[in-house]
Amino acid sequence: MALFKRVPPDGHKGKVSYNSGIVGGIVDLAVAEVEGVEMLPGKKSFKLYFEKGGIYADIAVKVDYGYSVPEVAFKIQQTVKHNVEAMTKYKVAKVDVRVVGVDFLGEHTEQN
């Protein structure tokens, strides 16, 4: 288990430590906010890499039939970046979204 520390730049004493599981939980919740998508079961649905340039996320999802794949992927990228940066103050350098399947059971018809 890795701990990632952040020392406030404004001179306050103390530090905030985040377990990688906490950041993973934030990613999981962020993807759940996006309509028309579900993460794959198990822990292999996403990977997080903590690098000097920021956090890199690789997320695998299934999209419900009827949703626009590029739009859903873009919403996932936006939501993950916003939530992780807002809740942890880490920078998100990159969010890769891999659509590994389409769920035909949860059919959805977009209305224009």
pLDDT in tens, the chain (112 residues): 455 556 666 666 666 677 788 898 999 999 999 999 988 877 678 899 988 889 999 999 999 999 999 999 999 999 999 999 999 878 999 999 999 989 887 555 554 4
CATH number of the domain encompassing residue 41:
3.30.70.1350
Q: Per the domain annotation, does 15 fall within a domain?
A: yes
Whole-angstrom distance, CA of residue 64 vs CA of residue 107? 6
- Whether residue 96 is contained in a domain is answered as yes
Instruction: Tell me whether residue 57 is in a domain.
Output: yes
The CA-to-CA distance between both ends of the chain, in Å, stands at 47
111, part of any domain: no
> In 6-103, where does DSSP find H-type helix?
20-33, 69-88
Domain count, the chain: 1
Which tokens go with 72?
Answer: 């859903």
Domain that holds residue 98: 3-103
Ordered DSSP codes for 30-52: HHHHSTTEEEPSSGGGEEEEEET
Let me know if residue 110 belongs to a domain.
Answer: no
- What global pTM score does this model have? 0.78
